[in-house]
């Protein structure tokens, strides 16, 4: 053979191994801005039922819940022994306390949702 490129082209695969690839998704989580409030639950930013029993969920970095706005977060999904399974990008939407959440719509008002 003349070079490694020629050798690579002549390699014959020994076996094909089928694999199941599961794509996981995130769910936007809505929380009210409150400086005294603890961190939101990381499991509420993903679908816990898509993971094995005993899986743990935590945010990679703390979520700023003191100011309103859309926060990009990463949920670290790990087995019970702490070994990471995946890192799932998600969003936490921190809303002003005066904002009413009506389904997927927001109204900044003190009246009821319509």
Output 51 or 6, whichever has higher pLDDT: 51
pLDDT-above-90 percentage for the chain: 28
Rounded to two decimals, what is the model's pTM?
Answer: 0.66
- pLDDT at position 83 is 86
Per-residue pLDDT tens for 14-57?
A: 778 777 766 677 888 888 888 787 889 999 999 888 888 889 99
CA–CA separation, 76 vs 74, rounded Å?
6
Measured from the Cβ of residue 42, the count of other Cβ atoms closer than 10 Å reads 23
Contacts of 51 (CB under 8 A, 6+ apart): 24, 77, 85
Q: Is the pLDDT of residue 103 over 80?
A: no
pLDDT at residue 85 above 60? yes
pLDDT for position 2: 60
């Amino acid at each position: 053979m003349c070079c490694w490129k020629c050798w690579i082209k002549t390699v014959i695969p020994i076996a094909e191994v089928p694999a199941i690839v599961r794509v996981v998704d995130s769910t936007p989580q809505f929380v009210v801005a409150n400086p005294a409030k603890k961190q939101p639950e990381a499991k509420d930013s993903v679908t816990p039922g898509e993971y094995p029993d005993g899986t743990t969920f935590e945010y990679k970095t703390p979520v700023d819940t003191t100011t309103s706005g859309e926060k990009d977060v990463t949920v670290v999904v790990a087995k019970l022994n702490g070994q990471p399974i995946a890192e799932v990008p998600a969003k936490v939407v921190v809303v002003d306390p005066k904002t009413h959440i009506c389904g997927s719509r927001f109204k900044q008002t003190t009246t009821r949702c319509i």
